[in-house]
Structure 1
Amino acid sequence: MRILHLLNHTRRLNGHVHAAVDLACAQVKLGHTVAVASGGGDFDQLLTDHGVECMRINQERRPASLAMGLRLLYRAVDEWRADVVHAHMVTSAALAWPVCRVLRRALVTTVHNEFQKSAVLMGLGTRVIAVSAAVGQSMQKRGISRARIDVILNGTIGSVRFDGKDRTARSLETPAIIFVGGLHPRKGLPDLFAAFGSVHEKHQGAHLYIVGDGPCRDQYIATVNAMECNGAVTFTGPTDEPFPFMKGADIFVLPSHADPAPLVLSEAREAGCAIVATEVDGIPELLEHGKAGILVPPGDPSQLAKVLCGLLERAEVLEEWKRNSQYNVDYLRIDRVARDTLAVYANATRKVGRAVTDK
């Protein structure tokens, strides 16, 4: 099968880019011909090294750029003989829809960020992939037929992005509690700071690590600096390799208020952390509905603090939840995601009545 992935860019900034890069490379390993068309970015060399052809199509939301992008995409789909166009963002889906209609190609879309109002446009796909059942339900509420939605839960284990990287555990002050992600409101970090303030009163040896960057970083640093526990909180800044931090930590916390299917939970589980996360969106699915991690209500620092104290007070309980993180962890492998996605492609190509060009 000839598969063309369509992205705004291939920079490291967004989880949807990581997911698309992982998928494209995994599909090449399975014997398919794969290309990525985007505005370019950090992952182009990695894609090329793993047999994925990179095409440059500017998708900036400006009339001239979009008009040129539409022409280039038409030419790419036609001349490259794509069987499937897989769009990962709203602009990509909007550009691909008329091209696929005219050329009678299957358009598959993946909804990565359903909390965005514009995500309804992902319904333009012949088939619509939701990265969790929660996302699928949300898209149904927006008017997308359940019959066109396929749920494929995110997974990163086995990603080529990790090949050859040093994944040795970082030496952290223990017991170490860690957060990895973007520093912006929907991640719920003020709840974690409030909870850790309470935890630190009882367990002054505990240390909190905040790994990542984002628009609220200065605000969050100021918040922590005003707390008595400030000496026990470290903001590491951004890193391309968060896994060693997770490998060196005891507890991974994700206090999100909204999170469709965060890739970081796959990595935290692979790292063997005890995991505490909020019961929102796709998080329960990634934690086997509480079998692989402890679920807490969002926006409830007191409950979060209670759970963290429970883990810190009893070493045997902490070790039990580290073991629990490995429950059915192989389901989060990228090769499973790739196989499930190929089944969606087969369905989509039958829908448009087109035989595939090659494997």
Structure 2
Amino acid sequence: MRILHVLNHTQRLNGHVHAAVDLACAQVAQGHDVCVASGGGDFDGLLKRKGVHTVFVDHKRSFPNLAKALVHLRSHIRSFHAEIVHAHMMTSAVLAFPVCRLSGIPLITTVHNEFEKSATLMGLGTRVIAVSDVVGASMQKRGVPSSRLRVVLNGTIGSARSDGRSEEPAPFISPSILFVGGLHPRKGLPDLLQALEIVHRSNPSAHLYIVGDGPYRDAYKDMASKLACASAVTFVGSTTDPYPYMLGADIFVLPSHADPAPLVLSEAREARCAVIGTQVDGIPQLLEHGDAGILVPPRDPSALAEALIQFVENPEKIDEWKARSQLRIEHLTIDRVARETMQVYISALGSRSPAEAAKMEQSNLV
């Protein structure tokens, strides 16, 4: 099948980019012809090495620029003879919709950030992929009928991004607690800092490592510096690969306030971390609803501290939950994501009317 993915850019900082890049590479490995149309970025080299075509479409949001982007995208879709167009963000979906509608090509949209109001526009797709069950339910409430909606849970194991990664664990002080994510309020890092303050009173040996960057980095550093446990907090900064840090950590914590289906949980489980996550959005599903990781209420530092203390004071519990992190982990592979996505494509192609099929055949001949 000839598949053209559309996304704003290919920079490392965004989870939806990681998911799209993983999928495109996996689809090539499964024998499909794949192209990524984007504003370019860090992953273009990886995509080309894996046999994914890349073309430039500038997604900057100004009317003159978007008008040009629409023309360029139409040209790329035609020249690539795309059978499926798969858009991963709102701007991409809006650009791709008229082109696909006029040419009779099915448009697939993936809802990565359901918490954004603009996610409603992802309903433009012939088929709409939700990255977790909770996201699927939310999109139904927004008016996407179940007949067009499919859930494909995120997974990262075996992704192209893991090629050549270091398997050397980071040299952490044990018991070590790890956070990996963007430094902005949605990820709930202040809750974790407050929880560590509670843990530190009775367990001063516990140490928190924070991997990531973002607009609130300086504010969070200032917040941590004022705590009694300040010496037990290390801001590692951004990294191209957090996996060695996961290998070196005893406990992985994701205290998010909103998170549709965070890829980082799949990676932490692959690294055999004992995992604590909040009971929001797709996190419970990625942790097998509490069987593969401990779930705590969001915005509740006391409950998070209680879970951490159980681990810190009982090392055997860390070993128990490291083992439990492997429960049904085979479901988190990128190959499974690619296979289920292909079934969505086939469903969309089968739903075309004869007139749409004729349009697509004609456009591929031009």
Give the secondary-structure state (helix, strand or coil) at the position aligned to 1:3.
strand
- Aligned counterpart, 1:342: 342
Matching of residue 180 in structure 1 with residue 180 in structure 2: yes
Residue deviations 1:240-286, cap 9 Å, x none? 11110010000000000000000000000001000001000000000
Matched residue, 1:152: 152
In structure 1, what is the equivalent of residue 364 of structure 2?
Answer: none
Task: Determine helix, strand or coil for the equivalent of 1:253.
Answer: strand
Q: Using the alignment, how far apart are the partners of 1:260 and 1:337 within structure 2? A: 16
Unaligned runs of 5+ in 1: none
Aligned to 1:107: 107
Alignment partners' CA distance in 2, 1:287 and 1:109: 25
The CA RMSD over aligned residues, in Å, is 1.3
Matches within 5 A, 1:286-305: 286-305=286-305
Q: What SS does the aligned partner of 1:55 have? A: strand
Match of 1:281 in 2: 281
Matches within 5 A, 1:55-94: 55-94=55-94
Moved more, 345-354 or 178-187: 345-354
| Structure-2 separation of matches of 1:162 and 1:206 | 29
The secondary structure found in structure 2 opposite 1:213 is coil
Deviation at 1:79, TM superposition (A): 2.1
Q: Which residue of 2 aligns with 1:142?
A: 142
Q: Determine the structure 2 residue equivalent to 1:210.
A: 210
2:25 equivalent to 1:47? no
Instruction: Detail structure 1 runs of 4+ shifted over 6 Å in the superposition.
Output: none
| 1:167 positional shift | 2.4
After alignment, is 341-350 or 159-168 more displaced? 159-168
2:171 is equivalent to residue 171 of structure 1: yes
Cα distance in 1, alignment partners of residues 97 and 241 from structure 2: 36
Stretches of structure 2 that go unaligned for 5 or more consecutive residues are 362-366
TM-score if structure 2 supplies the norm length? 0.96
Q: What do residues 214-239 of structure 1 show as CA deviations (whole Å, max 9, x unaligned)? A: 11111111111000100000000101
Superposition deviation, residue 64 in structure 1: 1.2
Please give the TM-score of this superposition, normalised by the length of structure 1: 0.98
The separation in 2 between residues aligned to 1:57 and 1:303, in whole angstroms, is: 46
- Distance in structure 2 (CA, Å) of the matches to 1:250 and 1:164: 23
Identity of aligned residues (%): 61
Give the length in aligned residue pairs. Answer: 358
Distance in 2 between residues matched to 1:79 and 1:219, nearest whole Å:
48
CA distance in structure 2 between the aligned counterparts of 1:112 and 1:296, rounded to whole angstroms: 23
Q: Which amino acid is 1:13 matched to?
A: L
Q: Following superposition of structure 1 onto structure 2, how do residues 205-284 of structure 1 map, counting pairs within 5 Å?
A: 205-284=205-284
Mean Cα deviation higher: 262-271 or 70-79 = 70-79
Aligned to 2:36: 36
Secondary structure of residue in 2 paired with 1:275: strand
C-alpha distance in 2 between matches for 1:316 and 1:226: 32
